[in-house]
């Protein structure tokens, strides 16, 4: 299948290309050029000057934990374990347990999709996520090795850091682990422990880093390990987050992740806003919107070892696209101030997944079946059966649950 976008503003690695035409063939970008070509493809979408970005990448989520409200009875916590204990004993957790894992995975997938995310790193053992990979409307990245964390109270994910890290190096995979998520001695020493095990390098993806000190930051920079920053979750649970200015100044590759809605953001747009608000409040200056853009596109693509396919608008890469309305002149500011109403279209693997109801003919032409739906008060068309999902959730709970991350109606 071949189709094209015309009259767009394409956010490419070289900058914003005005009056851009983007052609998609067999699920990948076949060309990007300025101006409208004389030959017309059978399927053409005129974006009327809207911005086109690569599909966003959420570098850290727990899709099985997709539920609300947040849990934090005894904040601030010393580390993640007492929070987890509060979670497991909460009324909202008991409520969530009435839902099937497939329902939670679909809710988490739609939460990401309607905010422009086409790829998610769902940090959990593979056997948990495997049944839902082909059912998800977003791409759940499955090629990674993992540990839960580096401490005596870590959950038993994987076969141990050294074995998992060796597999990552051998297979050109990311090795993903929570690190320094708290302020007890084990959390403070977690990076040093991981380094002593020989598990720091370009394949290492460290999530959180709240307790990093200057020596830790030097170590991460020297080993070329990657960091995923989750400020909303960190600030909610601990009242603190990673020393992000020093981390960025050290040249560390930083991505953004939402974490679970039960502690973190309801979507990537909120995470972006939380990151920028924290940076301004903490350091008295603005976090460069272009840096933020990279934190949700090319930086996670590099960290998660998928840069050959994702993270940039380039010829040959997968046609994962996000279209945002262009009320602001600057593409990067537009992304940093976007909300659910800003999203005009989301494309994954060259096919529309979500967009304005006015684009329904485009969905039909590309063979994508979905449902008319109202998101945040705007008429949309969403692939799959989202309304059937919500009806099944209502039946399971016995009442209608309002979920801010999926605001239908």
Instruction: Say whether both 184 and 242 belong to one domain.
Output: yes
CA angle, residues 8, 12, 224, in degrees to nearest 5: 155
pLDDT of residue 258: 98
pLDDT of residue 57: 99
Residue with tokens 């309607």: 114
Instruction: Say whether both 45 and 62 belong to one domain.
Output: no
- Mean pLDDT confidence for 24-36: 96
- Answer with the one of 270, 304, 338 that is the final residue of a domain: 304
Number of domains in the chain: 2
Instruction: Say whether both 49 and 69 belong to one domain.
Output: no
pLDDT of residue 116: 98
pLDDT of residue 37: 87
Distance CA 388, CA 102 (A): 13
CATH number at residue 276: 3.20.20.140
In this structure, which long-range contacts are made by residues 367-370, counting pairs with CB atoms below 8 Å and at least 24 apart in sequence? 367/1
Residue with tokens 């449902």: 371
Residue 117 counted as domain residue: yes
- Mean pLDDT confidence for 383-399: 98
pLDDT of residue 176: 99
pLDDT of residue 327: 81
Distance CA 29, CA 265 (A): 31
pLDDT of residue 142: 98
- Mean pLDDT confidence for 74-81: 98
Distance CA 70, CA 137 (A): 25
pLDDT of residue 40: 85
* φ/ψ (deg, to 5) at 315: -60, 135
What's the pLDDT tens digit per position in 305-355?
Answer: 999 999 999 999 999 999 999 888 999 999 999 999 999 999 999 999 999
Check pLDDT > 90 for residue 87: yes
Model confidence at 23, pLDDT cuts 50, 70, 90, reads very high
**Do residues 43 and 235 touch, judged by C-beta distance below 8 A?**
no
Check pLDDT > 90 for residue 20: yes
Percentage of the residues of the chain whose pLDDT score is greater than 90: 98
Check pLDDT > 90 for residue 169: yes
Check pLDDT > 90 for residue 38: no
Instruction: Say whether both 240 and 321 belong to one domain.
Output: no
Q: Which two tokens mark 81?
A: 């374990």
Residue 407 counted as domain residue: no
**Do residues 406 and 107 touch, judged by C-beta distance below 8 A?**
yes
Q: Which two tokens mark 227?
A: 């960091």
Residue 309 counted as domain residue: no
Q: Evaluate if pTM is beyond 0.95.
A: yes
- Mean pLDDT confidence for 117-133: 98
Check pLDDT > 90 for residue 409: no
- Mean pLDDT confidence for 184-197: 98
Domain containing 379 equals 2-54+314-397
pLDDT, mean over the chain: 97
Check pLDDT > 90 for residue 280: yes
- Answer with the one of 304, 327, 353 that is the final residue of a domain: 304
Instruction: Say whether both 145 and 255 belong to one domain.
Output: yes
Give, in order, the Cα–Cα distances in Å from 127 to each of 131, 132, 146: 8, 10, 12
Distance CA 68, CA 282 (A): 28
- Answer with the one of 243, 273, 304 that is the final residue of a domain: 304
With the C-alpha atoms ordered 400, 345, 352, 115, is the resulting torsion angle positive or negative?
negative
Instruction: Say whether both 46 and 118 belong to one domain.
Output: no
The per-type count for the chain, helices as H runs and strands as E runs, is 16, 18
List the beta strands (DSSP E) in 49-184. Answer: 51-54, 56-61, 117-122, 139-140, 145-146, 175-179
Let me know if 225 is exposed, middle or buried by CB neighbors in 10 A (0-12, 13-18, 19+). Answer: buried
- Mean pLDDT confidence for 42-64: 97
Residue 284 counted as domain residue: yes
Note the helical H segments in 224-325: 231-238, 244-249, 268-283, 289-295, 298-303
CATH number at residue 43: 2.30.40.10
Model confidence at 178, pLDDT cuts 50, 70, 90, reads very high
* DSSP codes of every residue in 357-381: GGGHHHHHHTT--EEEEEETTEEEE
């Amino acid at each position: 299948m071949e189709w094209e976008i015309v009259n767009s503003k394409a956010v490419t690695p070289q900058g914003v290309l005005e009056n851009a035409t983007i052609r998609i063939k067999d699920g990948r970008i076949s060309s990007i050029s300025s101006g409208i070509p004389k030959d017309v493809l059978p399927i053409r979408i005129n974006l009327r000057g809207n911005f086109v970005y690569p599909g966003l990448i959420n570098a850290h989520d727990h899709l099985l934990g997709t539920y609300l409200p947040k849990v934090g009875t005894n904040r601030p916590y010393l580390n993640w374990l007492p929070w987890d204990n509060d979670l497991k004993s909460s009324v909202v957790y008991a409520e969530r347990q009435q839902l099937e894992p497939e329902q939670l995975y679909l809710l988490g997938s739609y939460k990401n999709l309607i905010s422009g995310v086409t790829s998610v790193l769902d940090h959990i053992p593979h056997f948990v996520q495997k049944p839902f990979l082909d059912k998800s409307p977003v791409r759940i990245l499955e090629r990674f090795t993992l540990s839960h964390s580096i401490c005596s109270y870590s959950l038993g994910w994987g076969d141990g850091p050294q074995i998992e890290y060796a597999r990552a190096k051998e297979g050109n995979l990311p090795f993903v682990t929570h690190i320094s998520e708290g302020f007890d001695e084990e959390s403070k020493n977690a990076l040093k422990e991981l380094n002593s095990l020989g598990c720091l390098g370009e394949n290492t993806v460290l999530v959180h880093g709240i307790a990093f000190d200057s020596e830790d930051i030097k170590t991460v920079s020297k080993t070329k390990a990657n960091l995923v920053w989750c400020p909303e979750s960190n600030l909610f649970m601990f009242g603190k987050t990673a020393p992000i200015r020093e981390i960025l100044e050290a040249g560390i590759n930083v991505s953004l992740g939402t974490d679970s809605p039960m502690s973190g953001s309801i979507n990537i747009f909120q995470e972006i806003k939380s990151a920028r608000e924290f940076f301004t409040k903490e350091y008295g200056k603005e976090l460069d919107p272009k840096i933020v853009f990279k934190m949700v596109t090319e930086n996670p693509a590099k960290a998660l070892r998928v840069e050959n396919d994702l993270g940039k608008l380039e010829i040959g890469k997968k046609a994962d696209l996000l279209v945002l309305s262009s009320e602001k002149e600057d593409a990067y500011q537009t992304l940093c101030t976007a909300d659910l109403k800003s999203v005009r279209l989301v494309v994954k693997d060259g096919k529309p997944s979500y967009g304005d109801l006015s684009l329904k003919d485009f969905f039909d032409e590309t063979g994508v079946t979905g449902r008319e739906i109202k998101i945040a008060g705007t008429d949309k068309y969403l692939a799959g059966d989202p309304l059937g999902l919500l009806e099944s959730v209502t039946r399971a709970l016995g009442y209608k649950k309002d979920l801010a991350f999926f605001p239908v109606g």
